[in-house]
């Protein structure tokens, strides 16, 4: 259709033909570039409606400047109190004079031709919703990704595989007003709840993909995507699925159920810090759409099977114990407590175990001449057996939650060389394994010399569960999970702390590295730590780790160590490596 043809369809309507709504809240840094991009559109019949949702920064000063310079094109609506993004968009829609509406977030910007090209497409094809590509740009590292709408223009494909974002589509105003109750839901992730329902109710939906018109600043500080995970954020993210399924037309419910299950599983896979919440959410989604499981890839189906095997409630209570016996040795005890609070997502119960609340007369004889740390570990072990929970060492810097362990009966960190790292461990109430460990610690005598609590733990785990304690991740009897030491990077400098990294990091650890004897461990740890640092900055880069691993594997010393490790008897191997 030529330019004159689509303009002919709008000839009976008074300008403007397109209303661009810009909700504003705390985006002073990016607002000017956004307003410049929406004001200087090639389509002259465009109006800009800026909605200031009671922003506490200086955004209004910038808005007033544009209103004064472009009084015929820019209007401003000011809320007397913050009402949220959904209400701000609704205010802009109600004030719009044009038959078509485009929403632009105030921290993003658009190309000058976007309005004209999209209006031509949506008018000529008589669409209710017209999607277009979004160029997503990461603020911190400059990474870019193009999000494109499905090429196949049917409702089933849009609902199943399309992205849900108000800023990624242009709408017919009359249609949006008719569906305003389901379009503007006052919650976080309102797009995920509303867009599939709107697609199901639209008469015609299409996409326009020749160019990348919309530039989306991703993970901007202060944005919803970059906000620290909170109870409300998790609740709204999950609720968006179930609100959507209520509002989607019956004809397209099956397509939405597929989308809901896929989204729930994505949260489970990508957010280890909300693992327990994600498990319950996927279980609920599976109950609603069990028959869709076969539509997913084997990777997803394996995730579903794993989730369904999980208990319906967590086993390890969210109690974190601190070693108060080491209070005099810890420079900043409040920091120790702050690190412990990160072990679980929402403010776990923190208990400090020290000599003031413990019966020192019942301390096992062999521990009497040991360090204060060992004495504290004994009483913490007793507390975990009695009440359940987990322990965090004072030398630990926690950068991930232990929610993934909430469904285990017990967990420890495998240190390699038949040892256990005492940086963190935990278990459920009356755990069989922890009870057996406590019995060994309290036994009057044993056939071998007990050097530490860690020795007792290692012997029980090997005897009862048959674990190898060679540094790899292991799952064993009695609900035991051994966390791989590749998930824990130990600092070479004793004055620095252990760093418990996210489970998604350091999965490239190789068998050969974890089988190194003690006289090569220092170099291996150093390489792992450097590699972790590189990977945390750029998760896609493992090149440094691979280079360092090649250096280790090329040494003659390593080849000798590897041969010895695999050919000597296991008992002799444990003794030699210690």
Summarize the confidence of residues 209-227 as an average pLDDT. Answer: 66
- For residue 260, which phi and psi values (nearest 5 degrees)? -60, -45
- Mean confidence (pLDDT) of the chain: 78
Q: Is residue 233 part of a domain?
A: no
Summarize the confidence of residues 274-296 as an average pLDDT. Answer: 75
- For residue 315, which phi and psi values (nearest 5 degrees)? -95, -40
Domain residue limits at 172:
3-218
Cβ(73)–Cβ(47) below 8 Å: yes
Summarize the confidence of residues 504-510 as an average pLDDT. Answer: 33
- For residue 289, which phi and psi values (nearest 5 degrees)? -140, 55
Highest mean pLDDT among 241-255, 287-301, 366-380: 366-380
Work out the number of other CB atoms within 10 angstroms of the CB of residue 223.
15
Q: Is residue 418 part of a domain?
A: no
Does residue 266 sit in the same domain as residue 211?
no
Summarize the confidence of residues 130-140 as an average pLDDT. Answer: 84
Say whether pLDDT at 493 is over 90: no
pLDDT at residue 172 in the model: 94
Does residue 40 sit in the same domain as residue 107?
yes
Q: Is residue 292 part of a domain?
A: yes
End-of-domain residue from the set 260, 277, 309: 309
Highest mean pLDDT among 126-130, 441-445, 488-492: 126-130
CATH number reported for the structural domain that contains residue 43 in this entry: 3.90.550.10
pLDDT in tens, 156-191: 888 888 888 888 899 999 999 999 888 888 887 788
Who has greater pLDDT, 138 or 53? Answer: 53
Does residue 290 sit in the same domain as residue 141?
no
Q: How far apart are CA 168 and CA 118, in angstroms?
A: 11
Interhelix angle 453-465/432-442, nearest 10 degrees:
130
pLDDT at residue 272 in the model: 66
Which range, of 302-316, 343-357, 478-492, averages the lowest pLDDT? 478-492
Q: What is the SS3 string spanning 374-433? A: HHHHHHHHHHHHHHCEEEECCCEEECCCCHHHHHCCEEEEEEECCEEEEEEEEECCCCHH
Q: How confident is the model at residue 421 (pLDDT cuts 50, 70, 90)?
A: confident
Structure tokens at 389: 């929970």
Cβ(128)–Cβ(197) below 8 Å: no
Q: How confident is the model at residue 281 (pLDDT cuts 50, 70, 90)?
A: confident
pLDDT in tens, 395-410: 776 666 677 788 889 9
Say whether pLDDT at 411 is over 80: yes
Q: Where are the beta strands (DSSP E) in 84-194?
A: 100-103, 109-110, 129-131, 134-138, 144-147, 169-172
Does residue 15 sit in the same domain as residue 109?
yes
Q: How confident is the model at residue 78 (pLDDT cuts 50, 70, 90)?
A: very high
pLDDT at residue 519 in the model: 39
Domain count for the chain, please give it: 2
Q: How far apart are CA 569 and CA 485, in angstroms?
A: 23
End-of-domain residue from the set 218, 237, 260: 218
Does residue 65 sit in the same domain as residue 206?
yes
Cβ(382)–Cβ(409) below 8 Å: no
The model carries a pTM of 0.65
Q: Is residue 182 part of a domain?
A: yes
Say whether pLDDT at 215 is over 50: yes
Assign 177 to helix, strand or coil. helix
Q: How confident is the model at residue 572 (pLDDT cuts 50, 70, 90)?
A: low
Q: How far apart are CA 172 and CA 127, in angstroms?
A: 7
Does residue 277 sit in the same domain as residue 166?
no
Q: Is residue 71 part of a domain?
A: yes
pLDDT at residue 231 in the model: 61
Does residue 90 sit in the same domain as residue 206?
yes
Closest by Cα among 131, 124, 171 to 21? 171
Say whether pLDDT at 423 is over 90: no
Say whether pLDDT at 99 is over 90: yes
Q: Is residue 414 part of a domain?
A: no
Q: How far apart are CA 279 and CA 9, in angstroms?
A: 52
Assign 466 to helix, strand or coil. coil
Cβ(102)–Cβ(18) below 8 Å: yes
Does residue 206 sit in the same domain as residue 256?
no
Burial string for 62-78 (b: 16+ CB within 10 Å, else e) reads bbeebbeeeeebbbbbe
| CB proximity list for 301: less than 8 A, separation 6 or greater | 293, 294
pLDDT at residue 485 in the model: 72
Closest by Cα among 3, 29, 36 to 17? 3
Does residue 80 sit in the same domain as residue 171?
yes
Summarize the confidence of residues 41-52 as an average pLDDT. Answer: 93
Q: Is residue 192 part of a domain?
A: yes
Q: How confident is the model at residue 566 (pLDDT cuts 50, 70, 90)?
A: low
Tokens 């090569």 belong to residue = 520
Say whether pLDDT at 286 is over 90: no
What residues form DSSP beta bridges with 131? 169, 207
pLDDT at residue 20 in the model: 95
Q: How far apart are CA 159 and CA 167, in angstroms?
A: 16
Task: Quickly list DSSP for 512-571.
Answer: HHHT--HHHHHHHHHHHHHHHHHHHH-TT--HHHHHHHHHHHHSHHHHHHHHHHHHS-HH
Cβ(173)–Cβ(157) below 8 Å: no
Summarize the confidence of residues 496-508 as an average pLDDT. Answer: 37
Q: Positive or negative CA dihedral for 452, 453, 456, 458?
A: negative
Q: How confident is the model at residue 304 (pLDDT cuts 50, 70, 90)?
A: confident
Summarize the confidence of residues 193-202 as an average pLDDT. Answer: 90
Q: How confident is the model at residue 375 (pLDDT cuts 50, 70, 90)?
A: very high
End-of-domain residue from the set 281, 309, 337: 309
pLDDT at residue 287 in the model: 78
Does residue 202 sit in the same domain as residue 73?
yes
Closest by Cα among 474, 319, 345 to 400? 345
Say whether pLDDT at 238 is over 70: yes
- For residue 379, which phi and psi values (nearest 5 degrees)? -70, -30
pLDDT at residue 397 in the model: 67
Closest by Cα among 277, 433, 451 to 366? 451
Q: How far apart are CA 234 and CA 239, in angstroms?
A: 8
Highest mean pLDDT among 6-10, 71-75, 270-274, 306-310: 71-75
Q: Is residue 399 part of a domain?
A: no
Does residue 199 sit in the same domain as residue 275?
no
Task: Order the strands of the 419-427 sheet from edge to edge.
Answer: 349-353, 319-323, 389-392, 419-427, 410-416, 480-483, 474-476
Does residue 43 sit in the same domain as residue 163?
yes
Cβ(375)–Cβ(246) below 8 Å: no
Q: How confident is the model at residue 12 (pLDDT cuts 50, 70, 90)?
A: confident
């Amino acid at each position: 259709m030529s330019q004159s043809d689509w303009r002919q369809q709008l000839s009976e309507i008074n300008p403007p033909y397109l209303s661009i709504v810009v909700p504003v809240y705390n985006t002073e840094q990016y607002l000017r570039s956004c307003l410049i991009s929406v004001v200087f559109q090639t389509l002259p019949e465009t109006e800009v409606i800026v909605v200031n949702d009671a922003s506490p920064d200086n955004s209004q000063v910038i808005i007033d400047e544009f209103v004064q310079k472009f009084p015929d094109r820019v209007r401003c609506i000011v809320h007397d109190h913050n009402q949220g993004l959904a209400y701000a968009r609704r205010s802009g829609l109600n004030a719009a004079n044009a038959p078509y509406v485009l929403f632009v977030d105030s921290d993003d910007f658009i190309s000058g031709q976007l309005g004209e090209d999209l209006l031509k497409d949506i008018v000529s094809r008589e669409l209710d919703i017209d999607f277009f590509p979004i160029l997503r740009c990461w603020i911190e590292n400059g990474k870019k990704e193009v999000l494109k709408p499905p090429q196949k223009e049917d409702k089933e494909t849009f609902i199943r595989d399309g992205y849900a974002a108000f800023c990624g589509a242009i709408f017919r105003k009359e249609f949006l007003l008719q569906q305003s109750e389901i379009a503007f839901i006052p919650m976080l992730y309102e797009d995920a709840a509303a867009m599939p329902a709107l697609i199901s109710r639209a008469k015609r939906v299409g996409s326009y993909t020749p160019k990348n018109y919309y530039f989306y600043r991703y993970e901007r500080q202060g944005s919803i995507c970059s906000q620290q995970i909170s109870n409300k954020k998790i609740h709204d993210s999950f609720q968006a699925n179930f609100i959507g399924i209520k509002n989607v037309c019956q004809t397209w419910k099956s397509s939405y159920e597929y989308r809901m299950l896929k989204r729930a599983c994505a949260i489970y896979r990508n957010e280890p810090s909300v693992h327990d919440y994600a498990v319950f959410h996927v279980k609920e989604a599976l109950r609603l759409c069990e028959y869709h499981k076969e539509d997913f890839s084997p990777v997803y189906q394996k995730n579903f099977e794993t989730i369904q095997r999980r208990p319906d409630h967590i086993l390890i209570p969210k109690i974190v114990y601190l070693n108060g016996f080491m209070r005099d040795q810890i420079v900043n005890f409040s920091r120790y407590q702050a690190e412990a609070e990160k072990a679980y997502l929402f403010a776990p119960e923190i208990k400090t175990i020290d000599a003031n609340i413990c019966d020192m007369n019942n301390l096992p004889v062999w521990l009497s001449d040991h360090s204060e740390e060992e004495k504290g570990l004994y009483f913490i072990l007793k507390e975990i057996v009695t009440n359940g929970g987990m322990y965090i060492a004072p030398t630990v810097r926690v950068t991930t939650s232990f929610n993934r362990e909430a469904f285990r009966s017990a967990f420890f960190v495998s240190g390699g060389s038949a040892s256990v790292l005492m940086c963190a461990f935990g278990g459920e109430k009356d755990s069989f394994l922890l009870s057996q460990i406590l019995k060994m610690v309290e036994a009057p005598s044993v056939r071998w010399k007990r050097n530490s609590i860690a020795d007792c733990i290692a012997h029980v785990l090997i005897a009862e569960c048959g674990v190898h304690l060679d540094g790899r991740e292991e799952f064993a009897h009695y609900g035991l999970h051994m966390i791989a030491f590749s998930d824990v990077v130990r600092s070479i400098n004793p004055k620095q702390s252990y760093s418990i990294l996210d489970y998604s990091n350091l999965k490239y650890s190789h068998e050969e590295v974890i089988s190194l004897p003690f006289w090569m461990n220092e170099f291996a740890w150093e390489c792992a730590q450097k590699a972790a640092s590189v990977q945390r900055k750029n998760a896609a880069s493992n090149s440094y780790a691979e280079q360092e691993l090649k250096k280790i594997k090329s040494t003659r010393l390593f080849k000798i160590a590897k041969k010895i490790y695999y050919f000597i008897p296991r008992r002799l191997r444990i003794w030699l490596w210690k």
